A and B are shown apart, each in its own frame.
Chain A
Amino acid sequence: MALETELNRWINLEKVSLLALDQSVHGGKILTQIIRGFGIRNVRTFSKISDARDALRTGSFDLIIADPAATEGDEDGIELVRWLRRQDRNINRFAPVILVSGHSTPSMVRRSRDSGANFFVAKPLTATTLLERILWVARDKRPFVEVGEYLGPDRRFKEKGPPEGAAGRRTNDDTDQHPEEQQKGAA
């Protein structure tokens, strides 16, 4: 979705409660200013992972935006997401998570992908990019899947079912051909 073509569309984020984690105080301020500009009033911003974790234990959030590079001891923002997804009784366990990262090493990108976050966004942050991602996540209908160590949104963006000739691993696997594949087959 290109927001430039939808500038007159109405959105209402007033009732969204959001947790933000950014190790840089000023990075957190920039993020908070952008978010408040979108109309989100209930924003709690943290610079320490332990404080963010405490808030996730006790509060309820509709959206989490975290910097994967935030570190405290041996833990980082990615570990916080992994921890959250493994909390059986936590109300925020399935809350959408957008990871917002500055410089990223290949291993950070790989770990972020496997953490269970919904989306990975590169800094520097712009209001347009962040709002696009928030609205995208709000429309995201992918189920959460739990397989091996992974718990998070289904990483298959297109449900094409299992590979041809292979039995699906999931009870809800779409064993019918994807419409595009059907068209190719018919051609």
Chain B
Amino acid sequence: MTHIVRTHRVENRLAKAVSTSGGVTIGEALQRAKLGVEQVRDEVMVALDAKIAEIDTVTMPANFDGTAATMARVYMLANEVLNEAGAFDLSELSEAGRSLCELTANWRDGGIDVQPVRVHVIAMKSLRRPDIAGDSSLRTAVVEGLRAVTAKLSAQARVAAAPAR
């Protein structure tokens, strides 16, 4: 099939804006950006804990309904944990958020066993505890455990989703 291609040569206004004289060095810009992020650290940490608490509440066996809406909410919160923890170098907590995203993405329409989700919640809460947060080997062990759980369940989900031969 042949498509007609139209080409637009457009002005890059960003290039024009960037090319003006003055400004700061790249090193200074990066330093200022990092300082700026530090200014919202406390606020974001409070929000992070609230997000983990919400995941905890909606996935408690007594509350968990397994609906698509709940799974979408858990996925969204886990995605925010991934981003916001990662921005403050809480890489293991960020990785736990990514692992929970991976897990819930396979069950966006519901039907997931809540136990693996609970494992992630417990891990996230643990990673916020000062004794574990301050010990890199413990943090690594927590995340490796999560990766193993998610990899196993994702493989099962792929097998279940594959068309029967």
Contacts and interface: CB of A to CB of B under 8 A. Distances in A.
Contacts of A16: 14, 17-18
Interface string B7-49: 1111111110111111111110111111111011001100110
Interface residues of A, number: 62
Interface residues of B, number: 57
Contacts of A23: 76
A37 B29 CA distance: 6
A124 B5 contact: no
Nearest to A100: B83
A95 B87 contact: no
Contact of B36 (A10, A34, A69, A96): A34
A26 B8 contact: no
Interface in A115-138: 123-128, 130-131, 134-135, 137-138
B30 A128 contact: yes
A3 B15 CA distance: 18
A140 B9 CA distance: 12
A95 to B, nearest CB: 7
Interface in B53-102: 75-76, 78-80, 82-87, 94, 97-98, 101-102
A62 B14 contact: yes
A169 B8 contact: no
Interface of A: 3, 6-17, 23-27, 29-30, 33-39, 62-63, 69, 94-96, 102-103, 105, 123-128, 130-131, 134-135, 137-141, 143-148, 154, 169-172
Contacts of A146: 5-8
A34 to B, nearest CB: 4
Nearest to A132: B26
Give the most central of B5, B10, B82, B86: most A CB within 10 Å. Answer: B5
Contact of B33 (A15, A38, A171): A38
Contacts of A3: 26, 30
B83 A144 contact: no
A38 B94 contact: no
**7 A-B pairs with the lowest CB-CB distances in the bound complex, closest first:** A124-B86, A12-B23, A37-B33, A7-B27, A103-B101, A33-B36, A127-B33
B105 interface: yes
B158 interface: no
Contact of A11 (B29, B75, B85, B97): B29
B159 interface: no
B2 interface: yes
A10 B24 contact: yes
Given A12-B20, A138-B14, A103 B78 contact: yes
Contact of A8 (B3, B25, B76, B82): B25
